[in-house]
Structure 1
Amino acid sequence: YKRQGLMRASVYGGYFTAAQGIIYLSLMGMLLDDTMQRLNAVKNVLAAVVNSVAALFFLFVADFDWTAVVLIAVGSAIGGQIGAKVGRRLSPGFLRALIVVVGTAAIVQLVLR
């Protein structure tokens, strides 16, 4: 059951990417007994692997705009580095609350669109 949840989140994340980190953190937070900082680190590695595999797949089966690809790749790399550094410094309770707030804001924005 645990593996299926993470596998489904990875398939979703590989295609859409939207809220992928929030989904990983919420699943791992419910299923694993570890600190939020460690779960955040695992989330970053898991997202990098999933998105790399998805990128390789789409490289062979889809047409895309290389300018957009480069901009998204650079933004993701910078955001991942900043997020990891900031996440390590935050208390577990604050990090968990921040994840809930960002996830809720994303859901509200999608629903109201």
Structure 2
Amino acid sequence: MDLSEAALLVGAGLAAGTVNAIAGGGSLITFPALIAIGLSPVPANVTNSVSVCPGYLSSVLGSRQDLPPRRQLLPLLPTAVLGAAAGCVLLLVTPARAFELVVPFLVLGASAVLAFQTKLRRLVGHPAELSPRRRMVTVQAMVALGSVYGGYFGAALGVMLVAGLALVLDESLVRVTAIKNLLSALVGIATVVVFGLFGPVNWAAVAVLVPATIVGGYGGARLARRLPPAILKTVIVVFGTAIGLLLLYRALR
């Protein structure tokens, strides 16, 4: 890796950490950067998943004041870890082409769910109107689906988690974003363990990307706390839609 390639990865890591903390989708910045320095798609995807994890952790630090009480979070943690591990296994043992065709529609669907959250709640019921058991099941289902997706292909994980959780949690978008940061960090840790043991990780690229994603993740989380809810929602929806369309273009070309 020469100096220009290292500089490219540093810039990509800073941008990805910031974007992941605010909206999610930073992997669409670091993944192409890894391809540009010569990695093939699977090693690039695996290396990218390992590299962005520290940025998720710094996002948690930056948004920790907005997290709900521990008793609300603890039941979600095993689901996130197990779902992410399952997604990692899927990536390592199955062909990627079919999922590449599905992913864009998942991202676009998640963006639409967040954009039309109020209208959808009229159909599925407001979280405050659901029984505790039904609310628990729906939240767990959202976390499980998002975590499997994150383990397999982490791009736009944040968009998908925010969209799903905002639909089934009676919380402010700032708090939902803080929960998203925590769950993303757990998904990231699971991918580090699985891919670190069994995946073709390029550790030199990881060493360059990690410090940049940490700085970007913390700064992005602090910025997200200062954005008005309407602006934060708009940023996530617009960015998620752009990611979905870009992924669709890449899958069909």
Does TM-score exceed 0.5, indicating one fold? yes
2:151 aligned to 3, 6, 14, which one?
Answer: 14
Cα distance between partner residues in 2 of 1:74 and 1:16:
22
In 1, are the aligned partners of 2:142 and 2:165 still within 8 Å (CA)? no
Structure 1: unaligned runs, 5 residues or longer? none
Q: Structure 2 length as normaliser, TM-score?
A: 0.42
Residues 58/32 of structure 1: CA separation in 2 closer, same or farther (3 Å cut): same
Residue matched to 1:110: 247
Cα distance between partner residues in 1 of 2:209 and 2:176:
24
RMSD: 1.4
Q: Structure 1 length as normaliser, TM-score?
A: 0.90
In 2, are the aligned partners of 1:21 and 1:47 still within 8 Å (CA)? yes
Deviation at 1:94, TM superposition (A): 0.7
2:228 aligned to 91, 103, 107, which one?
Answer: 91
- Which has the larger Rg? 2
5 Å matches for 1:22-61? 22-61=159-198
Code of the residue aligned with 2:224 in structure 1: it is G
Cα distance between partner residues in 2 of 1:53 and 1:75:
20
Cα distance between partner residues in 2 of 1:35 and 1:71:
35
1:73 aligned to 203, 207, 210, which one?
Answer: 210
Larger RCO, structure (CA 8 Å, separation 6 or more): 2
Structure 2: unaligned runs, 5 residues or longer? 1-136
Cα distance between partner residues in 2 of 1:14 and 1:78:
23
Cα distance between partner residues in 1 of 2:151 and 2:214:
16
> SS of the residue aligned with 1:56?
helix
Cα distance between partner residues in 2 of 1:14 and 1:73:
18
Deviation at 1:84, TM superposition (A): 0.8
> SS of the residue aligned with 1:63?
coil
Any runs of at least 4 consecutive aligned residues in structure 1 with deviations exceeding 4 A, and if so which? none
In 1, are the aligned partners of 2:142 and 2:161 still within 8 Å (CA)? no
> SS of the residue aligned with 1:17?
coil
